[in-house]
Amino acid sequence: MQQIELGHYLALSSVIFGLGAFGFLVRRNVLVQLMSIELMLNSVNLMLVGCNRFLPDNHAGQVFAFFVIAVAAAEASVGLAIVISLFRLKKTVHSDQADSLRH
Amino acid sequence: MSTAGIVLFYVFGSLALASAVGTIALPSPIRAAMSLLAHIVSLSGLFLLLHAHLLAALQVLVYAGAVVVLFIFVIMLIGPVSAPPHGERGKLIKACSGATILAVSALLAYSLYPVRAPLESLGNCTAAEGAECDQFGGVLAFSKSLFVGAVVPFELIAVLLTVAIVGAVAVARGRTAAESRTLSIKLHEKGKVSVAEEAREHVLATQLTVPPPPERGL
Amino acid sequence: MAEKALLGIVLFPLLGAIAIGLFGRRAGRSAVHSIAVLSVAASFGLALLAFAELLRMRLDQGKELAAISFTAYEWFTLTWNQRPIGVPVRFVMDALSGVMTLVITGIGLLIHIYSTGYMSEEPSYARFFAYLNLFTGSMLILVLGSNLPLMFVGWEGVGLCSYLLIGFWYENTSYAAAGRKAFVANRIGDFGVLLGMLLLAVASNSFELSAINAVAEQRPNVFTGAFSLGPRGMPYWVVPGISFGTVATLLLFLGCTGKSAQLPLYVWLPDAMAGPTPVSALIHAATMVTAGVYLICRLSPVFALAPVTMALITTLGALTALLGASVGLVQNQLKKILAYSTVSQLGFMFAAVGCGAFAAGFMHVYTHAFFKACLFLGAGSVMHAVGAHGDADIRQLGGLRRYMPLTRATFLVSCCAIAGVPLFSGFFSKDEIFVGALSAGSYFSFAPWLGHAVFAALVLAATMTAFYMFRLYFLTFSGEYRGGPVHEAELGHEHVAHEPHESPASITVPLIILGVGAVVAGYVWIGIAHFEPWVTWLAPALGSIGAEHPHNAALIALASGLAAAAVGIGLATLFYYRKSDAPERLATQFRGVHRLLLDAWRVDQLYDRTILAVSRFLARASNVLDVYVIDVLTTVLPTQIVRAVSFLFTRMQTGLVHAYGAVMAFGLLALVLHFVVPHGDPEIIGDPQGMKVELSASAGLGYEYRWDFDSDGTFDTPWSADRNATRDFTDADFVRFAVVFEGASYGAHPRTLTVAPKESLPVSASAVTRALTSAQISADEFGPNWQHGEDNRLPQINADQDGLLITPRGARVRKDGTLQASEKPVRVARGESVTIGFARLTVSGYARPRVQVRNVFGIQRTQSVGVVVPKVARRLTAQVAAARAGVP
């Protein structure tokens, strides 16, 4: 069988990124949008770790991925807090209803 | 890489793809969260294939163990989701942007697929060394890079997480009952508050956001 | 010692003006007029000293052209034709300017003293004396300046002071308008003076009057040669039939018509009577208006070389004399009559100098100063006595001889002088003018009758002058007092006539002095007895037309002068001394002519209908342009654009996250496309080392590159992911020649042109042609003196396989320092350079390497870049110098 090359991992990462972005743009449920953001962050993590495997001089890729995970956690918590506030205000989690900032 | 590695790559890879599709496609948020969990676990498997042992464990611990759980808590709190009152808006924009992003990812994937790099073989820990050996991606080596090479960002991340906690708590809580009572007493004492104003003040106090303007016909 | 006096002459009035201007109000009246009078008195004293010195130099040492000069400092320097022309602040007094200075300071002093009495009730006392002193200072600068720019400073200064003083009572809008009119008319003339001045400086390479006159005397062909414009060696226009001197003097004469109130710019002088009477006396009788005559006399050698201009001067002078006299016949305002009389007398002066009689014209300047100043001051005295404001109507005066005997005596003396009564000063100067006109003769080769025609006109004008002046005298001083001016406040009431009285001493003493001057001033040149110290004194300073007096000229002149005076005075006596109704009958019979003369030939109305109408039209058109074009473009259009754009932007803020996300997605697509779609954009990295050049293409996602350096269609490198390439260029790689051209014109930068073998580099004659025909090089970039003598042919630059071939033809082409022959082509190979004139041409090779870029999808794109090798730096001149010195 063909060896798994760096290109495979990069391609997989791009596809998952695309799926995550697609989900963010198309779905209207704010929670699913947040989950799509997590998908995108994960795809970036995959690419970082994959590139690090093929350039193993240092652990830069994995360290970076570590920080991405930490930041993603922080961002998820704050984002969910905002979702809760939005729900309290509008009684819905539909992103189309969250248009108070229109002109 | 051995045959098993190749097979495992395809297994985990397809699982990751399938669960990603599930996350974005399943209508119920709980099911989408479960799908996200499966995705994270499959990604952890891919990390193991890539010699990032500690990171794989951390991924499951933090992501699957904390973030997804948080999602589920919030989904439970919110309860069942009702359909939007006026149907969906912006179907055209949705379609265009969706198509765009699919095109972008396809372009990227096609352009990146031919990238080739030499693969060095990295040793694994022997049974005698245990998990403390200095292999690539292991606990010892990874920790050295993290706590010695990147200690400043590490500390800053700690600060960031503290800030995030504080921010989340501040955003998510409203005013307690005692606080809203004190607020309305203060406004009464000023003697300039009418009933409607007081009601508005109350709403303001609890909501932390500006009340919406009157509904226009959409 | 006398040199420093010159500085003092000019400086004292100016300092007085500054002192009075700054501190006059607070200092009080006596301080003000003391400073004013003393400063002019000091100037007069110093002028006498300097004149005495001049006299001594002439008599003792027999110096022909005696002159005292004082240089203060170097004002500025211009460069013309690579030669510097310095303009120092230098004052020179010679025979001509000496007399003029004495007149200015002497009569100025008298008028200052007069003003202390006349203007005693004026609230803006200090301002008046400040302006008066400033005027005196400017006039002295004009007269004593040794070069044209300095004289122009004085010229403008007197124009300015004239404006300030005419519009002295500026609260009255019509007086202010009169001041403006004077200034504008003067300004039109100043334009002519400026251009004339520059032409003279260009011709004689100096601004100094003495230098210009020297050129006119020693190298007259400079001024009699044809008029051409353009830098030396490249005449743009050559106008046949008009000489350089004619153009320059015509422009200067335009200035004289403005300053000295000739046709067509005299219209400001009658209106200038709006100013106080001393102003009229000083500026419009004695000094400023004679500046034009002074200019012509100063530059008389130049003017003598331009008969066309002189013909024009004398014609206009005669016409002005007639015009002024004819209008003066019927006017009823005292000062207006004197104003038109001034216009007329100035016409006499110009007619004289136009016929080449510079000394005669200048003598009339001198005598006119005395009697006209006396007339104006006498008019002021009359007006002061009867309580008139502005001007006095002579029909309401009369019989003043009883009340004001001194004024009457001096006025009578001056009237006799102006009328040409024998033994008074005016008689002698008019006589010499007539002689001059009759002697012009063959100087006007194209119109030998001109002198006689002018003479006839002047005699007629003299008759009219005598008539109207004595009409004025009789109506004012003889008969019975008719009550004086009617004041507004008394209209409708019984008119109470208050008795006029003689004026105080401060007014009458200057009148007496001037009256005496009006009698004796003329005795410096008695033509009949051939007693002419005036001519001898001035002769070295004036040019000459070489005219000869016909033998009976003196006799004819004398007879005509006497006849004119007799007829004029006789008619005036008939009509006005003995009561007669002839004037009224004539007026009714020739009503149309009478009205025309009363309206001063309606010249003002003519100007208003024609020139001023055009000006008003232009003003309106500019307003329309401003409001509907410029305002729309700069105000309305941008605001509308801002509105539209902001409308767009606000509509974009929907508040919906998915819309924002969509925009981000589109941006991401564009970014990815930029890296996926192949683009090459090759460029040169760093500095080329000799013939070795490093090239680099732009990076992209999955790109591969290959290069073609020698433009032969085949690629020299295989496909590789390396985006840099280095090449040692050889002659086989070049497709064209790059010519680096360093022009020698003003502000030129080196530029690179390319030419292929079998092509040529077009050279055009001038930058304009180059712009129009998009030629590459123009001849004006070669610098001055790029031609061989008169050969105007342009060099031809062709290219062939080995380099450039330049055929110099008319240009000076040097290769390695040696001048090349005109018809043999000069070979310039790659790396060599050549100079044409002062410009340098260096030949380099020009290659056009291409890069082809391929992305992962197989889409290819080819782009190229131009490379000039060897790259020519500004250090090339150092290289060439080293090559000449033999360093390898």
Dump pLDDT digits (tens) for C588-597. 888 888 888 8
Ordered domains of chain C (ranges, CATH): 331-578 (no CATH), 736-847 (2.60.200.20)
Q: What is the 3-state secondary structure (H, E, C) of C360-374?
A: HHHHHHHHHHHHHHH
pLDDT at B191: 65
Residue C404 identity (one-letter amino acid): M
Which of the two residues, C68 and A82, has the higher pLDDT score? Answer: A82
pLDDT at C729: 83
* Residue B113 C-alpha, separation from nearest chain C C-alpha, in angstroms: 10
Nearest to A69 among B24, B62, B145 (CB): B62
Nearest to B98 among A25, A50, A58 (CB): A25
Q: How many CB atoms lie within 10 A of CB C771?
A: 11
Residue C868 in contact with residue C846, Cβ under 8 Å? yes
Alpha carbons B78 and B80: distance in angstroms, whole number: 7
Chains contacting chain A through 3 or more C-beta pairs under 8 A: B, C
Helix (H) or strand (E) holding C110, with range, is helix C95-118
Beta bridge partners of C68: C93
**Choice among B41-50, B114-123, C128-137 with the minimum mean pLDDT:** B114-123
Of all residues in chain B, the one with the smallest CA distance to C671 is: B104
Nearest to C650 among A24, A25, A103 (CB): A103
Chains contacting chain B through 3 or more C-beta pairs under 8 A: A, C
Alpha carbons B208 and C522: distance in angstroms, whole number: 108
* Residue A18 C-alpha, separation from nearest chain B C-alpha, in angstroms: 5
Chain B interface includes A68 (CB < 8 A): no
- Give Cα separations from B206 to A80, A91, B177 (angstroms): 18, 14, 9
Q: Which residues of B touch C665 (CB under 8 A)?
A: 97, 100-101, 104
Alpha carbons C837 and C788: distance in angstroms, whole number: 10
Question: Residue C210: CB partners within 8 Å, gap ≥ 6?
Answer: C67, C92, C146
Mutate to test the interface with B, among C658, C664, C673 (most CBs of B within 10 A): C658
Alpha carbons C371 and C584: distance in angstroms, whole number: 30
- Give Cα separations from B31 to B21, B72, B81, C367 (angstroms): 12, 10, 13, 122
Residue C532 in contact with residue C435, Cβ under 8 Å? no
* Residue C869 C-alpha, separation from nearest chain B C-alpha, in angstroms: 38
Residue ranges of chain C whose pLDDT lies below 70: 62-65, 81, 228-240, 486-498, 528, 746-748, 871-888
Confidence of residue B139 (pLDDT cuts 50, 70, 90): confident
Give the pLDDT confidence of C172-185 residue by residue, as tens digits: 898 999 999 999 99
Q: Would you list which residues of chain C are within 8 Å, Cβ to Cβ, of chain A? A: 650-651, 653-658, 661-662, 665
Domain boundaries A6-91, corresponding CATH code: 1.10.287.3510
Chains contacting chain C through 3 or more C-beta pairs under 8 A: A, B
The alpha-helical segments, DSSP class H, found in chain B are 3-25, 29-49, 53-58, 68-78, 91-112, 139-143, 151-172, 177-190, 195-207
Contact yes or no for C651 and A98 at CB 8 A: no
Tell the burial category of C686 from Cβ atoms under 10 Å away from its Cβ (0-12, 13-18, 19+). exposed
Of all residues in chain C, the one with the smallest CA distance to A100 is: C655
- Give Cα separations from C383 to C380, C507, C573, C743, C849 (angstroms): 5, 12, 24, 72, 95
Contact yes or no for A102 and C653 at CB 8 A: yes
Instruction: Share the mean pLDDT of chain B.
Output: 84
Contact yes or no for C657 and A95 at CB 8 A: yes
pLDDT at C377: 92
Which of C666, B12, B40, C702 is closest to A12 using CA atoms? B12
Which of the two residues, C700 and A63, has the higher pLDDT score? Answer: A63
Each residue of C591-602: b (16+ CB within 10 Å) or e? Answer: eeebeebeebee
Which of C474, C349, C477, C348 is closest to C404 using CA atoms? C477
Token pair belonging to C872: 């020519």
Mutate to test the interface with B, among A1, A6, A58, A62 (most CBs of B within 10 A): A62
